[in-house]
Amino acid sequence: MVQRLHLVFGGDLKDPTTKEFKDVSEIDLVGIFPNYQSAYDAWKGMAHKTVDNAHTRYFIAHLHRLRDEESPASPTEELS
């Protein structure tokens, strides 16, 4: 079975209409989850906690899409 990892993170944005963080050192790393449903549940919990702050947003990153074993190695991987 293929493991499909997801990262949940968020924080304060410079402008609520963009996805640019005010301070990347202040990004809240909620965690890495083994499937989309658990990541979604964590994201939803954080989104509900911060619903009153228009500048705070949380996101789900599909980590499994960053490293596809079936695709050829990237130039960075070939350096080592």
Residue 35 identity (one-letter amino acid):
N
For residue 17, what are the β-bridge partners?
none
pLDDT score, position 65: 79
Distance CA 51, CA 38 (A): 20
Look up the CATH architecture of domain 6-70.
2-Layer Sandwich (3.30)
**Mean pLDDT of the 34-62 span:** 94
Instruction: Say if residue 74's pLDDT is above 80.
Output: no
Residue 4 has a pLDDT of: 87
Can you give the residue ranges of every domain in the chain?
6-70
Say whether pLDDT at 67 is over 90.
no
Q: What is the pLDDT of residues 3-24, one digit of tens each?
A: 789 999 999 999 999 999 999 9
- Whole-structure pTM value: 0.78
